[in-house]
Amino acid sequence: MPRSSIAVNGPAVAERPAAGAPAGTPKQEQASADRRRPRLYLVDGIRLLAALLVVMHHFAGTKRADRPGNAIWDRPVQDIMPTVFRVASFGWIGVEIFFVISGFVICMSCWGRSPRQFFVSRVIRLYPAYWFAVLFTTGVVAALPGVWDRLPARDVLLNLTMLQTGSRVPHVDAVYWTLWSELRFYLLFLVVVAMGLTYRRVVAFCCVWGAAAMLAPVAELPLLTLIAQPDGAWYFIAGLALYLMHRFGQDLLLWGVLGMSWLMAQRELAERVVYEGVSSWRGALLIYTVFLLVMVAVALGRADRLQWAWLATAGCLTYPLYLLHYVAGTTVINRLRDTMDPRLLIAVVTAGFLLLSWLVHRCVERPVSRLMKQGLNASFTRLRQRA
């Protein structure tokens, strides 16, 4: 579950135009550039909450034979802690929440940027923590065998590219599947970034992508399905529509896009419930709907007063936590399951991975991203000079 990537790393402020200017006009664009809004701290908090939902699901909310639950505990987890299981069984929906937030944040952070800036920002955001996670997880599996199979070295090395799905190579950690969805979204949205982001172009992108996602399953064209990714497109589209509401104000067209995304998503949620084998469609739809309503409140400025700076730090933990927790965390639980109460064990392991995520952010993401940004910018400068 990818995140993906799934991260708020754009500007510390987002803009909203002055009232009275029609959406997409130069006057409105200029007004939006002049009027600044506070950082959206609540979005950072929602991201961490979504990550914790996924963590709880993997540690205590699944009963599938090929997933942790029966593998890391000595008996079905629903028998060990039934109340925790009933809550954690809905945790998989954190991935869908990530996708919506990704659409919102990518649109926000890319506004006014060039394709080069977009590319550099995505590379330095995604890869440093990911590289650490691949090596760390591989090390844990090697040191504590018996829970997860160790991949051959050639497959681990290919995982470092983040392109293993395209090469049909197994993931070092199954949660990386969401990164493939994120990467395809970035490639599609890069087209709009290259054209220059405007209200009309982003709305047109949402409509065209939505139409492609709707047609892909019946067209039975593998390439169209690969590009349109109908199982995830409507979540990203919802995030884009929400950001347009935030930047330009609400209108009937944006409500229509958001409403269509909700209608299409509820069907995909039903399919996910069947796949996961736990929770229920009604419960999942309720959680997702409440989340969308909260995001609407954020988009319309109702959460601007929540200026809790500590949420920014919480948001920085999200991506490393998501990447690190699954294989390594379930392996640790398997080794320690007889040492303490299972609920306490889950709390201790989760706290440990939160601390590790903070260390990765401070000691890996920050310095490596800074060096990569300098190097990539220098490379692009030389490329432009030699063109």
Counting every residue written for the chain, the total comes to 387
Confidence category of residue 68, pLDDT binned at 50, 70, 90: low
**Residue 201: what residue type?**
R
Give pLDDT, residue 70: 53
pLDDT greater than 90 at residue 175: yes
Query: Which of these, 90, 81, 181, 173, lies nearest to 132 by C-alpha position?
Result: 173
Q: At what angle do helices 115-143 and 366-386 cross, to 10 degrees?
A: 140
Percent of the chain with pLDDT over 90: 76
pLDDT greater than 70 at residue 69: no
3-state secondary structure of 387: coil
Query: Which of these, 308, 284, 233, lies nearest to 94 by C-alpha position?
Result: 284
3-state secondary structure of 36: strand
Confidence category of residue 308, pLDDT binned at 50, 70, 90: confident
Q: Could you say which DSSP state residue 74 is in?
A: S
Query: Which of these, 327, 314, 376, 383, lies nearest to 125 by C-alpha position?
Result: 376
Phi-psi region of 332 (alpha: psi -120 to 50; beta: other; left: phi over 0): alpha
Query: Which of these, 165, 47, 41, lies nearest to 95 by C-alpha position?
Result: 47
User: Which CA distances in Å does 213 have to 118, 262, 266?
Assistant: 24, 14, 15
Give pLDDT, residue 62: 86
Burial of 165 (0-12, 13-18, 19+ CB in 10 A): middle
Confidence category of residue 279, pLDDT binned at 50, 70, 90: confident
Q: Which residue has the higher pLDDT, 65 or 189?
A: 189
Averaged confidence pLDDT in the chain: 88
Give pLDDT, residue 67: 56
Confidence category of residue 355, pLDDT binned at 50, 70, 90: very high
Give pLDDT, residue 20: 37
Q: Could you say which DSSP state residue 5 is in?
A: -
Give pLDDT, residue 37: 65
pLDDT greater than 60 at residue 383: yes
2-57, pLDDT tens digit by residue? 333 333 333 333 344 433 334 444 434 434 443 456 788 999 999 999 999 999 99
Q: CB–CB of 164/176 below 8 Å?
A: yes
At 167, give phi and psi (nearest 5°). -100, 5
237-259: string of b/e by CB count within 10 Å (b at 16+)?
bbbbbbbbbbbbbbeeebeebbe
Give pLDDT, residue 59: 95
224-252, pLDDT tens digit by residue? 999 999 999 999 999 999 999 999 999 99
Cβ-proximal residues to 157 (8 Å cutoff; 6+ apart), any chain: none
Give pLDDT, residue 63: 73
Q: CB–CB of 79/342 below 8 Å?
A: no
Q: How many angstroms separate the CA atoms of 116 and 119, rounded?
A: 5
pTM, full prediction: 0.88
Cβ-proximal residues to 221 (8 Å cutoff; 6+ apart), any chain: none
Q: For the chain, what are the domain ranges?
A: 41-375
Q: How many angstroms separate the CA atoms of 183 and 189, rounded?
A: 10
Burial of 283 (0-12, 13-18, 19+ CB in 10 A): middle
**Residue 147: what residue type?**
V
pLDDT greater than 50 at residue 146: yes
The least confident of 230-239, 299-308, 337-346, 349-358 is: 299-308
pLDDT greater than 90 at residue 362: yes
Q: CB–CB of 237/257 below 8 Å?
A: yes
Q: Which residue has the tokens 């639980």?
A: 333
Give pLDDT, residue 215: 94
Q: How many angstroms separate the CA atoms of 135 and 124, rounded?
A: 18
Query: Which of these, 274, 341, 316, 331, lies nearest to 59 by C-alpha position?
Result: 331
